[in-house]
C-alpha cells in the first residue's frame, strides 16, 4: 500500500467513512469535505495522522491540511469515496450559515479549475516578462500563438465554470455547457463587439422581452447564476414530464425556460453585479490604497486560514476582465506568502532544534512557491512570534503596494516566486517588474531579520533533558505538544480583556475565553471528569496525558445555583473528545444579569513550557483546535 493511499484511508475513516462524505475535493494544500454528520469526525485522531499538518472546520466545511502532496492523497481518496458510495446523500445534516454556505460554494466552484487558470495565467505572465526584457515582441506570430493558448481559459471561462458549478450543485454538466455555449454564441458576441448592427434581440415577438447585447467572454457571475437556475428548473421539469419521453423533452423544456431568462434577466444582472463588485474594490484601492493594503496584506494569513480568499477569486477575475489588472488579491497574497516564507527561514537559522530547523527550511521553500500552510501551521503559528512578525511585515509592505498601485496583469495560480511574471506589464514598461522584484526581496528579508533579531521561544529537542525553571517549578522540556479542542462555538476573547481579574491575570492558568453562540459544551479532550459543582456552571477534566482543563461558563454564574445549566456527566466519568458535557441557556443567563463568556483554562500551566492559543480573536467552531500545550 502506498503512503498516500494509507493516509487517504486513515483520513476517510476518521471523518466517518465514505458514507458520511457528501462531497470531497481539494485545493492547493487541503482536502475539503462536506459531511452528512460532522459529529462523526474524530478531529483529534486526524491531527495525529502522519502527513497531516492540521484539521479544522471552516463553517460547515471540514478541511484537512496536507500540504504539497494533497493532489496525490486526493487521487487515492476519490475512488474510495466513489466506490464505497460516499457522496450519494443529497441532504446534509444541520443548517449552514449564509456566509459559510457561500464560502463553501465558491471554493467548490473555483478549486477544480485552478490548475487551468494557474497554467494559462503564468504563461501570459511569462509572455509579458519576455516583452519587458526584450526577448520577444508583442506583434510576432509566436507571441500571437502563445497568447491564444494563455488567453483561452479566460476568454472561454463560462465553459469551465459551467462544468465546475454543475458538479458542485449536482446537475447535468452537458446541459450546463449548453447554457455557456448559448451565452458565448457568435451571434451575441459579434453584436457585443460591434461587428453587426444588432443592438438588442426580441423574443417571441414580445416587445417587453428585450435581450441586451452583451459579451459574456471571461465573465464569472452570469454563468454561475444561470447554472443554479438550470438545476432547479431541470429537476422540476423531470418531475412533471413522463419518464418515457423525459430523455428528450426534459432538456428541451429546460432550455426553453432557462436560456431566455438567462439572456434576458440573469446574464445582465450577473454582469452588472460583477462589474459593481469590481468597481468597489478598484475604488477602494484607488482612494485608500495604503489603508486597504495595510489591512488586507496584514490579515491575509487569517483570510487564507479560513479559506475566504476563494471568495475574492471571482472579483479578481472580473477586475482583470474589466480593467486588465488585479489590484488586490494577488499583490497582497504575493507579499503575505513571502513574508511567511521569510519568517520560517528565520526560524530555520535561529532555532537549535534540528527537527524544527529542517521543518522550517522545507516549509519556507513551500511558502516561497506559494503554499503557505506548512510554514503557517507547522512553524510560525506554533511559535507565535514569527507569525506576528510575518503579519506585521506584510501589512507594512501591503500599505506600500497599495500606495504605489502594485498590480497583477494576469491570474497566476500559486502566488510566490514563480508568479513574479504576472506582475510584468504587457506593454513592456519596466517599472512594474522592478517593483515586483523589490517587494519579493523585502517580503522575505524583513520578517527574516525580525525573527533573527527579536527571536522567539524555541522548542527544545525531545532528547534535551535540561531542566527549565518556570514559575519556581522545575519541569523537563520535551518539545511534545498536545492539542486542546474548542468545547463550544463562539467568538474568541483574550483572557486579559475579561472583567474577572482571576482569569484576566491568569491566576488560574493560561488559556482563552469564548463568547458562545450556541448552548452546549463538549469535551475538548479525552479523560476523566474531576470537578463538577452542584451549580453545574463549570467542569474540570484531567486528560489522558495529565493535562488539567477547566471550562467555566460565564462570570459569577455560580450564583445561579444550577438554574439554566444541565450536566450530562458526573464526577469520575470517563469522557471522550467531542462528548456532550453540559447544555445551558445563554439568553436566560444574560437576562438574569450575568455574562456568558466562557473560559477554557489549563489549570496546571506550570507543568508546561507554554500554553499557546491558536488565535486570540475571531470565530471558533466546536471541535476546532483552540490551544496547544507544549511540554
CB 575 within 8 A of CB 541: yes
Burial of residue 244 (number of CB atoms within 10 Å: 0-12, 13-18, 19+): exposed
Alpha carbon distance 600, 603 (integer Å): 9
CB 160 within 8 A of CB 168: no
Active site residue 78: no
The single residue listed with the C-alpha cell 509566436 is 142
Alpha carbon distance 322, 219 (integer Å): 9
Provide Rg for the chain, Cα atoms. Answer: 27
- Give the cell for residue 558: 455560580
Which helix H or strand E contains 85, and what residues bound it? none
User: Most distant CA pair in the chain: distance in Å?
Assistant: 89
Report CA dihedral (175, 176, 180, 182) to the nearest 10 degrees: 30
Q: Backbone phi, then psi, for 196, in 5-degree steps?
A: -130, 170
Burial of residue 146 (number of CB atoms within 10 Å: 0-12, 13-18, 19+): middle
Beta bridge partners of 45: none
> Given 8, 15, 24, 27, which residue is catalytic?
27
- Give the list of residues 6+ apart from residue 446 with CB closer than 8 angstroms, or none: 339, 342, 393, 396, 397
Which helix H or strand E contains 606, and what residues bound it? none
Which helix H or strand E contains 475, and what residues bound it? strand 473-476
CB 223 within 8 A of CB 165: yes
Q: Backbone phi, then psi, for 320, in 5-degree steps?
A: -65, -40
Q: Reading across the β-sheet that carries 21-26, which strands appear in turn? A: 21-26, 30-35, 61-65, 54-58
Which helix H or strand E contains 189, and what residues bound it? helix 186-192
Active site amino acids: 27
Amino acid at each position: 500500500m502506498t503512503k498516500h493511499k494509507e493516509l487517504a484511508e486513515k483520513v476517510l475513516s476518521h471523518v466517518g467513512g465514505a458514507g458520511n462524505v457528501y462531497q470531497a475535493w481539494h485545493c492547493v494544500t487541503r482536502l475539503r469535505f462536506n459531511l452528512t454528520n460532522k459529529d462523526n469526525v474524530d478531529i483529534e485522531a486526524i491531527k495525529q495522522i502522519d502527513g497531516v499538518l492540521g484539521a479544522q472546520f471552516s463553517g460547515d466545511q471540514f478541511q484537512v491540511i496536507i500540504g504539497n502532496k494533497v493532489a496525490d492523497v486526493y487521487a487515492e481518496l476519490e475512488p474510495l469515496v466513489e466506490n464505497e458510495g460516499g457522496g450519494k446523500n443529497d441532504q446534509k445534516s444541520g443548517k449552514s450559515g449564509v456566509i459559510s454556505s457561500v464560502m463553501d460554494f465558491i471554493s467548490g466552484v473555483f478549486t477544480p479549475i485552478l490548475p487551468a487558470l494557474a497554467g494559462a495565467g503564468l504563461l501570459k505572465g511569462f509572455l509579458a516578462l519576455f516583452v519587458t526584457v526584450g526577448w520577444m515582441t508583442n506583434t510576432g506570430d509566436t507571441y500571437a500563438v502563445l497568447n491564444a493558448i494563455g488567453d483561452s481559459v479566460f476568454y472561454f471561462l463560462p465553459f469551465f465554470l459551467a462544468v465546475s458549478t454543475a458538479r458542485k450543485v449536482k446537475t447535468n454538466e452537458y446541459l450546463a455547457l449548453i447554457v455557456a455555449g448559448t451565452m458565448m454564441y457568435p451571434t451575441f458576441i459579434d453584436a457585443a463587439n460591434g461587428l453587426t448592427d444588432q443592438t438588442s434581440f426580441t423574443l417571441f415577438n414580445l416587445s417587453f422581452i428585450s435581450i441586451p447585447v452583451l459579451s459574456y467572454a471571461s465573465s464569472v457571475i452570469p454563468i454561475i447564476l444561470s447554472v443554479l437556475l438550470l438545476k432547479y428548473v431541470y429537476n422540476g421539469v423531470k418531475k412533471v414530464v413522463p419518464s418515457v419521453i423525459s430523455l428528450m423533452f426534459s432538456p428541451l423544456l429546460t432550455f426553453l425556460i432557462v436560456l431566455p431568462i438567462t439572456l434576458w434577466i440573469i446574464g445582465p444582472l450577473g454582469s452588472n453585479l460583477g462589474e459593481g463588485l469590481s468597481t468597489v474594490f478598484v475604488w477602494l484601492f484607488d482612494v485608500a490604497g495604503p489603508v486597504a493594503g495595510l489591512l488586507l496584506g496584514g490579515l491575509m494569513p487569517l483570510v487564507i486560514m479560513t479559506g475566504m480568499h476563494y471568495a475574492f477569486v471571482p472579483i479578481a477575475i472580473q477586475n482583470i476582465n474589466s480593467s486588465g489588472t488585479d489590484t488586490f488579491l494577488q499583490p497582497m497574497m504575493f507579499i503575505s506568502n513571502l513574508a511567511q516564507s521569510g519568517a520560517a527561514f528565520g526560524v530555520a537559522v535561529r532555532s537549535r532544534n534540528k527537527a524544527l530547523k529542517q521543518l522550517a527550511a522545507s516549509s519556507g521553500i513551500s511558502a516561497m512557491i506559494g503554499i503557505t500552510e506548512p510554514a503557517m501551521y507547522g512553524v510560525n503559528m506554533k511559535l507565535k512570534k514569527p507569525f506576528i512578525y510575518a503579519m506585521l511585515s506584510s501589512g507594512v509592505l501591503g500599505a506600500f503596494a497599495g500606495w504605489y498601485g502594485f498590480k497583477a496583469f494576469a491570474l497566476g495560480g500559486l502566488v510566490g516566486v514563480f508568479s513574479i511574471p504576472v506582475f510584468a506589464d504587457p506593454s513592456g514598461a519596466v517599472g512594474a517588474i522592478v517593483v515586483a522584484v523589490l517587494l519579493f526581496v523585502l517580503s522575505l528579508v524583513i520578517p527574516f531579520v525580525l525573527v533573527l533579531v527579536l527571536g522567539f521561544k524555541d522548542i527544545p529537542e525531545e532528547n534535551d533533558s535540561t531542566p527549565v525553571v518556570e514559575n519556581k517549578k522545575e519541569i523537563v522540556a520535551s518539545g511534545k505538544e498536545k492539542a486542546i479542542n474548542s468545547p463550544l462555538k463562539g467568538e474568541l476573547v483574550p483572557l486579559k480583556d475579561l472583567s474577572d481579574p482571576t482569569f484576566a491575570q491568569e491566576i488560574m492558568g493560561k488559556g482563552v475565553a469564548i463568547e458562545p453562540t450556541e448552548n452546549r459544551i463538549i469535551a475538548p479532550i479525552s479523560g476523566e471528569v474531576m470537578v463538577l459543582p452542584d451549580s453545574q456552571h463549570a467542569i474540570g477534566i484531567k486528560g489522558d496525558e495529565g493535562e488539567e482543563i477547566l471550562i467555566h461558563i460565564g462570570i459569577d454564574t455560580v450564583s445561579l445555583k444550577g438554574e439554566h445549566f444541565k450536566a450530562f456527566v458526573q464526577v469520575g466519568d470517563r469522557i471522550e473528545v467531542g462528548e456532550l458535557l453540559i447544555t445551558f441557556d445563554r439568553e436566560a443567563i444574560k437576562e438574569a444579569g450575568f455574562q456568558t463568556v466562557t473560559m477554557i483554562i489549563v489549570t496546571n500551566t506550570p507543568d508546561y513550557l507554554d500554553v499557546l492559543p491558536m488565535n486570540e480573536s475571531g470565530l471558533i467552531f466546536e471541535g476546532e483546535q483552540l490551544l496547544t500545550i507544549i511540554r
